Amino acid sequence: MTPAALAPARLRILTERQDEALIPFTFEAAAESPLAIACAPLAGPRAEAWLAGAIGESAETRGAAWAHGEHYALVAVVVDEAGGDIEAAATCAYERLLVAVRPSAHPYLLRIWNYFAAINRGDGDDERYRRFCVGRAGAVDGMFNDPPPAATAIGTVGEPGRLQVVALCSRAPALALENPRQTPAWRYPREHGRVSPGFSRGAVLDADTATPRLLASGTASIVGHVSQHLGDFAEQLRESLRNLEALMAEAAVKTGRTFRPEGCEALRIYLRHDADLAAAQSVMAGSGIPTERISYLRGDVCRRELDVELEGVFAAS
C-alpha cells in the first residue's frame, strides 16, 4: 500500500457522539446549540460526528459556533428572524457566514445545511422557502456560485424564530456534482421562484486521497425540475433513491472511484409526517444502505407537495 492509503481519512462520519468531532451534530427538537438540528428524531442514530483530525481551535455560543481543523473548518450561525422576515434573516446569515469564511484559511464552502420553521408558509413567490432563496442569493458572492456548495434546506416545527445555517469549509475546493436526471437547481425555470436555489446536487471531497467521500445534497422525488409521485410516499422515497444512485454513478464517472449504497457512513431521511416512518423503513430495507447508519427525522421538504427528502455521505470503495 502507498503511504496515502495508510494515512487516516481526512473526513469521516460516525453516527454517535464524539468529543473530538469538527462538527458534533445532534438531532433534538428543542435544543438551542447551533449544531443541534431541531428535527425530532423518529428512529436511528441521534447524532453524527464529522471527524476531521485534530481540532486547532473551537468555540460555541448561543448564536454561533466555529472550529478549525487542518484541512476543514466549521462555521455555524443562528439568526433571529426579526418579525418573521426570513428573506432578511437569510441575507444576514449568509453575510455573517461569508465574512467569517472568505478571509480565513478555509475559504471554500463545500456543504451547507439550512433549517428554519414554517418553510412552506405563504403562497407563490411569498412562500418562506422562496423568500429564503432570494435573501441567500442577495448575500453571496461570485465565488459562492462557482460552483455552489452541496446543501440542504429543511423546515422545522413551530413558529418562525430562528434561521440556522451550518457550513463545512475547506482549504481547497471540492468536486461539485450535478445529477443527470435532474435540472441543476441554479437553472430551475421561473415557476419555482424569483431566484433559483443556489446549491449543487452533491460534492466529492478528498478526491486527491485514498478515501474520497461523496456528500449528497438534500435529494427528493424530482426528475428534471418536476416533483414526482404526489401523494405516494413510498414511490417518492424510491424516486429519491434513484436520484441518489444516479449521483453515485456521476461521482464514479468524475473520479474513477466506485460509490455504493453499502459505503454509506450516514444518511438522514426527513419525513413530513411521522406516520410514514414504517413505510420509509420498509423501502430502505431494500436499499443496500446499512440500517444502523440511517437517521429518520421529522422535517418539512421545501416543496410543499413532497413528503420525503434524504441526504448522506458515502465513502468510495
User: Given the rule CB under 6 A, which residues bind ligand 3EB?
Assistant: 114, 151-153, 185, 197, 199, 217-218, 220, 222, 302
**17 or 225, CB closer to ligand 3EB?**
225
**220 or 294, CB closer to ligand 3EB?**
220
**52 or 301, CB closer to ligand 3EB?**
301
Three-state helix/strand/coil letters over 9-49: CCCEEECCCCCCCCEEEEECCCCCCCCEECCCEEECCCEEE
**156 or 217, CB closer to ligand 3EB?**
217
**117 or 185, CB closer to ligand 3EB?**
185
**42 or 154, CB closer to ligand 3EB?**
154
Residue 276's closest CA among 310, 312, 243?
A: 310
CB 153, min distance to ligand 3EB, A: 4
CB 108, min distance to ligand 3EB, A: 17
Could you give the angle at which helices 277-284 and 233-255 cross, rounded to 10 degrees?
40
Specify the 3-state DSSP secondary structure of 59.
Answer: strand
Sheet (strand 41-43) strand order: 41-43, 294-298, 259-271, 308-316, 213-220, 202-205, 175-177
User: Hey, what's the cell of 2?
Assistant: 502507498
State the residue number with the nearest CB to ligand 3EB: 218
Place of cell 432563496: 133
Q: Do residues 14 and 49 touch, judged by C-beta distance below 8 A?
A: yes
CB 247, min distance to ligand 3EB, A: 12
CB 146, min distance to ligand 3EB, A: 16
Residue 169 pairs with which residues in a beta bridge? 73, 109
CB 15, min distance to ligand 3EB, A: 21
DSSP 138: H
CB 101, min distance to ligand 3EB, A: 17
